[in-house]
Chain A
Amino acid sequence: MGYFSMMFLYFDPGLGAMLVQAIVAAAAGIVLFSKNFMYKVKSFFGLTKSQKDGIDTIDFEQDEKHPNEEQGS
C-alpha cells in the first residue's frame, strides 16, 4: 500500500532495547510457564483462589451498570 511505517521517523527506540527484547521475552516465557505450572499444582491440591491475569480483560461493567448515564448529558 506504499505505507512506510512512520515509527522510523519518530524517536530512536534504542538498538540495545530492541536487541534485549528477545531475551526479556524468553525470561518472561519461563516465568509465566513456571507460575502457570505452580498454579496448576496448587489448584490440584485445592490451594488457590482464582488466578488473576488481567491483560486480556476489557471492562465494560460501567456501561452495563448505568445504561442511562450518557443520556442525561
Chain B
Amino acid sequence: MKSKAHRHQASFRDPSGYIVQDGSVVKRVINPIYFPVYDALCEADFFSPLFKAKMLIPHIEQERSEEAIVLLPDQIDLMTYPYEWSFEQYKQAALLTLKLQNFALDRDFSLKDASAYNVTFHRGKAVFIDTLSFDFYQKDSPWRAYKQFITHFFGPLVLAHFHGAEALKMMQTHIDGIPVALIASMLPKRTKLSPTLYTNIHLMAKMEAKHKDEYTPKSRSIKLSKQSLRNLLRSLYNYIDQLELKQQTEWGDYYNKTNYQPESFNFKKEQIQKWIAQNGARKILDVGGNDGTFARAINSDIALAVVADVDHNAVALNYAQVKANKEDNMLPLWFDVTQPSPAIGWANLERASILNRLSAWAPEAVLALAVIHHMTLSSNIPFVDSARFFAGLSPLLIIEFPKRNDSWVDSLLQRKREFINHFDHYHQENFEKAFEQYFKILERVNIPDSDRILYLMHTQE
C-alpha cells in the first residue's frame, strides 16, 4: 500500500485485511491470508447479487499484487453506529445480517463475525460494509459468530422490547456487545417460558457460565448440520421480524401541539427552502429535526439530509417515512445535542465520536429549528456555548429563536419556579450578541403569527 495511506484505527481485529484512509477516500486492503476466500467468493459470483440488492456495499478491485489486493468500495457519507439507530433501524440491521448468513450458507460460505458495526445506513437502507466477513463454510460446524449475533443484535433488541429503546444505548458502553449473562438478568422471569428466548439467552448464559474456564480444542468436534443451522437462523429471523417496542406511544401530532398556524408553518418551510437553494447547500444537518418534516420540505437538490433528534419516537417516525417512500437522501440519527455519542473502543480511536464524524462529513448548512430554547432553558447551556457548538459544525446556520413570550418558552420558564429570574438573559438581544461572536447575521425574518424569528447566519471569516 502507498505510504500516504494509513490504516484506520477501527480496523485491527480481523487478520483478513484492514481499512485505509487514502486522503478522503476509504479503501479496503486484503492480506494474502484471505486471498483464497476472496478469490473463491469472486469465482462463485457471490458479490454481485448482493450489490444489486443493496445488501452489501459495492466495491471494485483496484490493485492486486502478491502482498495485497486493494478494494475501492462505494464511499459512505456518514457512518452511524448502533447506539445512534432507532429500534426499527436496529431491527433492519439484524435482519440484514441473518439474511446474509443465510445467503452465504446457500453458497457454502459463512459469516465469520456478526458485529453490529458491520452494518451502517447508506442511501436510506441498512447495508453490510465488512466485505471480508465471509469465510468458507466448514461442513457440519456450528456458527462461530452466533454468540456475537446474540450480544450485538438479538439481546439488545429483546431488551429494548421489554425496557424501551433506551436499552439500545447500552451498546455505547459495550463495544463487544452486551454480555449474555447481563441480558439474561435483565429479562423478565416469564421469558424463560418462551422457547426462543429460553434457548438463545437463558440457556446460553448458563452454558457460557458452565464452560467459561474450558478452552476450545473440543469445539472442533461439536457438530451441527447445515439444516439445523438454517432452522436456527430462520427462527431468529422470524422472532426479530415480529418484535416491536412496547412503549410505542402515540406520536405524529407534534406539529399540532406546537404553536404554529398553518400560515406560519408554510412561511417557515418556504423561507428555509429559499435560503438553502440560494446558498446551494446540498449536505444538510438538521439538529433537533424531529421526524424530518422541514428537511423534506426542501425540494432543492439535496445530496443528504442528516436529521438528528433526541426523541426516539421522532427518529422512528422519520425512518418509517424513509422506508415507505424509499428515500435515499435522508439519514435519521438518534442524537442528544447535550450528550453526543463519545469516541469509544481501543485508545478511544476505534469508534469516533459523532461530532468527529459529522465534522469529517462537513455539512454545508445546519438547521436548528425550535431547539435553542430547549438548549438554553432546559439544559442551561449559555448562548455563547451554543453558538460555538454550531459554528464548529458548519459555516452556514439557519436558526429559529422563539422569543420570551412564545408559549413553549413560557412553559419552560414556568418550570424554573423560584429560579425564573436566573433566566432573565433569555432575550433576543443577548442571543444575537452571543451568536455574533461566531457568526455574521445575514438575514432575520419574523415568522408571521408567532413569537419566533428565523435567522440566516454565516461564520465569521
Interface, chain A (partner B; CB < 8 A): 1, 3, 5-7, 9-32, 35, 52-60, 62-63, 65
Alpha-carbon separation in the docked complex, A47 to B336 (Å): 46
Is B75 close to A, CB under 8 A?
A: no
Q: Are A13 and B195 in contact (CB under 8 A)?
A: no
Among the listed stretches B137-145, B271-279, B349-357, B405-413, which one makes contact with chain A, having 4 or more residues with CB under 8 Å of it? Answer: B137-145
Q: State whether A16 and B144 are in contact (beta carbons under 8 Å apart), knowing that A10-B113, A60-B53 are contacts in the complex.
A: no
Q: Are B204 and A11 in contact (CB under 8 A)?
A: no
* Chain A to chain B contacts (Cβ below 8 Å), 16 pairs: A6-B135, A7-B112, A11-B113, A14-B208, A15-B216, A15-B218, A18-B142, A19-B222, A20-B199, A26-B228, A28-B235, A31-B195, A32-B234, A32-B238, A53-B234, A56-B102
Give the chain A neighbours of B204 by CB distance below 8 A.
Answer: 16-17, 20, 24
Q: Are A12 and B216 in contact (CB under 8 A)?
A: yes
Alpha-carbon separation in the docked complex, A12 to B216 (Å): 8
From the candidates B138, B228, B241, name the one contacting A29 in the complex (CB within 8 A): B228
From the candidates A18, A54, A57, A65, name the one contacting B144 in the complex (CB within 8 A): A18
Q: State whether A6 and B15 are in contact (beta carbons under 8 Å apart), knowing that A25-B229, A27-B196 are contacts in the complex.
A: yes
Among the listed stretches B33-41, B243-251, B364-372, B443-451, which one makes contact with chain A, having 4 or more residues with CB under 8 Å of it? Answer: B33-41
Q: Are B237 and A55 in contact (CB under 8 A)?
A: yes
Q: Are B102 and A55 in contact (CB under 8 A)?
A: yes
Give the chain B neighbours of A54 by CB distance below 8 A.
Answer: 95, 99, 237, 241
Range for the number of chain B residues in contact with chain A: 35 or more
Least CB distance, A13 to chain B, in whole angstroms: 4
Q: Are B138 and A5 in contact (CB under 8 A)?
A: yes
Alpha-carbon separation in the docked complex, A25 to B234 (Å): 10
Least CB distance, B326 to chain A, in whole angstroms: 6
Alpha-carbon separation in the docked complex, A52 to B238 (Å): 8
Interface, chain B (partner A; CB < 8 A): 13-16, 33-34, 36-37, 49, 52-55, 95, 98-99, 102-103, 112-113, 135-136, 138, 142-148, 150, 180, 195-196, 198-200, 203-204, 206-212, 214-216, 218-219, 222-224, 228-229, 231-238, 241, 326
* Inter-chain contact total with CB atoms closer than 8 Å: 150
Give the chain A neighbours of B147 by CB distance below 8 A.
Answer: 13-14, 17
From the candidates A3, A16, A27, name the one contacting B199 in the complex (CB within 8 A): A27
Q: Are B15 and A25 in contact (CB under 8 A)?
A: no
Interface centre among A1, A5, A15, A60, by most B CB within 10 Å?
Answer: A15
Give the chain B neighbours of A20 by CB distance below 8 A.
Answer: 199, 203-204, 207
From the candidates A26, A58, A59, name the one contacting B103 in the complex (CB within 8 A): A58
Alpha-carbon separation in the docked complex, A18 to B219 (Å): 7
Alpha-carbon separation in the docked complex, A2 to B166 (Å): 47
Interface centre among A12, A52, A55, A63, by most B CB within 10 Å?
Answer: A55
Give the chain A neighbours of B135 by CB distance below 8 A.
Answer: 5-7
Q: Are B136 and A55 in contact (CB under 8 A)?
A: no
* Chain A, Cβ-Cβ closest to B101: A55
* Chain A, Cβ-Cβ closest to B147: A17
Top 4 closest A-B pairs, CB basis? A16-B207, A28-B235, A17-B147, A16-B208
* Chain B, Cβ-Cβ closest to A35: B238
